[in-house]
Structure formats: structure tokens, C-alpha cells
Structure 1
């Protein structure tokens, strides 16, 4: 089976970076619970929104993002049993391509560079399964579309859902040889 896996909010915790940088810049702490069904840029004061929107455009934003819990071990197990590709829309933000490549080298070195797809439009992807946190990516995929839970998509009901990587272990029957 060919399984395509998104990076941000599926493998890498970009929400943590948004919250960290916002606290650094404005001294205000938001929690992930406060982001239920939305993104940080929509709940901060209007005057702060341009700054928040620029975070992902800055060097260092995608570098050393925290891992989503259990992503390494479960993706390794998936990779041992299936054809796994990492598919990230890394073209929108100037520094993300290099930083995402380096991040994968550090945390997922078992995913060969030939199985890393950095694109701008995920409608070109072909595979059996796409695991992604955005409905707009899942809606253009012709295979099995699985939404990985993230704070911003918690109100989305149109897709099969994985809430965490432990559920993926069960869904893909990774505990059996």
C-alpha cells in the first residue's frame, strides 16, 4: 500500500511553534484548548494578526519543530510494512523547504529522500492513503483520505479521522507481523 503522510500537524507540531513565538513576541500565552476549531491568527487581537501570519515566512519557524507524539515509531512501523511517502506543501513559505528537509533528516532518516515530496498542490499526489490535517488537501485526493486531528480541524466532520498515531497503529494493523 502507498501511504502519503503530511508533515505539519501530522508529524511536526507547528502549533507549538506558533504559540511559543506569540508568547515570545507579545507575552500572552494561549493554550491548544483555546484553538479548538480555529487557528491562532483568528483569536489574537486584530493588531497582532499580521505578525502571527508572518511567522511561517520567517527563517527558523520550521526548524526543530517538536514531534507529534508517537509519530516516529508508528511511521517507522508503517514504513517497514508499506510504501510510505512524506508529502508536504513546502513551497508556500520561503524557508520551509530547507528546514523541512533538515527536520526529516534528523527525525525520520529512515524515510529515503526519494520518498519525500515537497509540493505546492497536493492534487497531483497518487496513492492509496493520504493522512493530512487539512480538508482542502484531502478533498482533491482520489484515494482514502484520512484527517489527522489538529486544533484547527476539530469541527470538520467530512473525513475518516485519526486522533493520534496510536490509533494509526491499530488502523493499519501494525502490531501483527
Structure 2
């Protein structure tokens, strides 16, 4: 699509004056020549990019995938099923993830966007994904819902330039690998993905309660901790004070990293990985105390010492 610099500046000035994307979209209309060339979906994506580009905040941004992350991934027998009416609108939400994202939006500390790929040749995909969000995540406005054609690098839809502190929450390694660098990714382990174990960044299980999951995502984004939940065993130990004891109570997290080298014969490296992976999932390979590689003991929830907290309170209040 070809939009002149002068026309782009007009759009940006207009976007700055509009309090919502819907108002901006309504004023711009749909009669511009470039819109005919681009088509409805690409036109909306471009207008969102323009609008968001002049309304960028200083908050960290979290971009959340839909299929397999916010919504449950439903296996299909044939590709044609993905093109059927009501396929996307009937996807069940991942309740824990949905609750966590709602919590992050409500906390207003992180700027949350939806960033999802869709089938451009489907009559229903884009419309139904928006309808799904209207139903389950109505608090997220239209300008925060970003869509890209399937197979497209998701970073191209990011408002303005992608920033090093931007995060993508996704269940698909390819999307995460394209995202970083310069930004960062968190892989959602949803029970059916991560079969090859290729993603080496942060990984969080979808089974955590919403409040805990939102806290974990936030802690990773703030650089307080990392989670690698496909391969670590974590226990939280709480030290309780005794009666008439003025000592405080602290949650201390013990993390054990288990690692084992397994030899197997195969025709290729990929086949060897799949063979060992199958043995592992069938409990033919079990890691135990002898495979302990590393142990860390640290605060489960990073917190400031009470004296330091008091000093800071005196500075800012």
C-alpha cells in the first residue's frame, strides 16, 4: 500500500486528537484509494498501527497470543475444519490464562495487547476472533487487538518500534524466536506443546491459578526472576515465627535443576531427540537426586528489607 508522507502526517495529527480508536477509524472512513488496494483487514491493521503509534505509553508492553494461549487449542482432523463457521468463536478459554490477563489489565501496570495470527483466506477467522474477545475479554479495546496473517512475523504489527522490554506470551516457539532479539518471549506450556524442547527462554505452565500466573508473568517482565517449568522442580518453604517471637515470616524458594545425558541410536539427531522424548514421557527415563545439577535458594517473592522499605517510604511520601 502507498500512503504519502503528507497523508500519514494528517492521519497522525487526527489520531492524537481522538480519544478512542473507534472514533479515529470512523472519522478516517473507508474511501481512501490505498484502502481498496490493501483490503479491509490490512486497512484496519494499518489504522491501529497509526493510532497506537501516537498513543504509546512508557509502561512495559505484553503481547498475548490467542490460539493455544488465551484460548484452548482444539485439534482438528482436516485443515478444512479451521475454515468452518463458528470454529474460532467456540474455542474454550484457557481460564487461568484469561484470568491472569484480566488481572494484568486491571492492575494497569503493564500495557496489554492481543497479538494473534489469522487465516486471511477464511471468511470467519478475523470476525470470530474479535467476537471471542468481545465475549471473554471485553475490557480490551479494539486498538489493543492486533492481528497478522498466518506465517507473518508478529513483530511487524507492534505499534511504533519494537522495544527491548516488550514481551510476547505465546505457545509457539517459531513466534517467540522471531520476537527476540530485540524483545523477549515467554512460552506458555499448555499441555500439548513443547514436545521438542527447543525453546530455552522463560516457560510457564498454564495450570497456575490466575493471580499466581499474572504475578509470575509480571515478575519475569520486571527482571525479578525466570521460570523454566518444563525442567525444574520448585518447592516453596515458609518459615513461621513462634509465639511471642517478633521475627518476621518469609517465603523461601528452593529450586533444583535436574539434568541427564542419555545415549540412543538413531538415523538422525531429530529422530534421536524424538526417541528420548518418547521414553521420557513414558517414564522410561526418570531423573532423580543423582541427576541434580544446580540448587538455588532465594526469596520466593522479591521483597525489600523492612528498614529499607521504611526509608523509601520516607523519601516518597
Fold match (TM-score > 0.5): yes
Cα deviation, 1:60-115, whole Å, max 9, x if unaligned, reads 11012111022232111211321000000024451210010000000000111110
Larger Rg: 2
Q: Which residue of 2 aligns with 1:5?
A: 64
How well do the aligned residues superpose, as a CA RMSD in angstroms? 2.2
| Selected match of 1:168 from 193, 209, 213 | 213
- Residue 155 in structure 1 maps to residue 200 in structure 2: no
Unaligned runs of 5+ in 2: 1-59, 220-300, 302-317
1:135 to 163, 173, 189: 173
Alpha-carbon distance in structure 2 between the residues aligned to 1:93 and 1:145: 28
- C-alpha contact (below 8 Å) 2:96/2:213 kept by paired residues: no
**Which residue is equivalent to 2:98?**
72
Change (3 A) 1:156 1:92: farther
Q: Does structure 1 retain, via aligned residues, the 8 Å contact 2:170–2:176?
A: yes
Q: How many residues align?
A: 142
Aligned 1:8-87 pairs, distance under 5 A = 8-15=67-74, 18=75, 51-79=77-105, 80-87=108-115
Give the structure, 1 or 2, with the largest relative contact order (CA under 8 Å, sep 6 or more).
Answer: 1
Residues 91 and 118 in structure 1, CA contact (< 8 A), matched pair in contact too: no
Q: Which residue of 1 aligns with 2:147?
A: 118
CA deviation profile, 1:110-149 (whole Å, cap 9, x unmatched): 1111100011221313351000111111111131111111
Give the 3 Å change call, closer, same or farther, for CA 147–92 of structure 1 in structure 2: farther
- Once residues 105 and 114 of structure 1 are traced to their aligned partners in structure 2, the CA distance between those partners, rounded to angstroms, is 13
* TM-score normalised by L of structure 1: 0.71
Are 1:5 and 1:84, in contact at CA under 8 Å, matched by a contact in 2?
A: yes
Equivalent pair of 2:173/2:198 in contact (CA under 8 Å): no
Unaligned runs of 5+ in 1: 23-50
The TM-score, its normalising length taken from structure 2, stands at: 0.41
1:27-67 Cα shifts (integer Å, max 9, x gaps): xxxxxxxxxxxxxxxxxxxxxxxx52221122111012111
Mapped contact 2:167–2:186 kept (Cα < 8 A) = yes
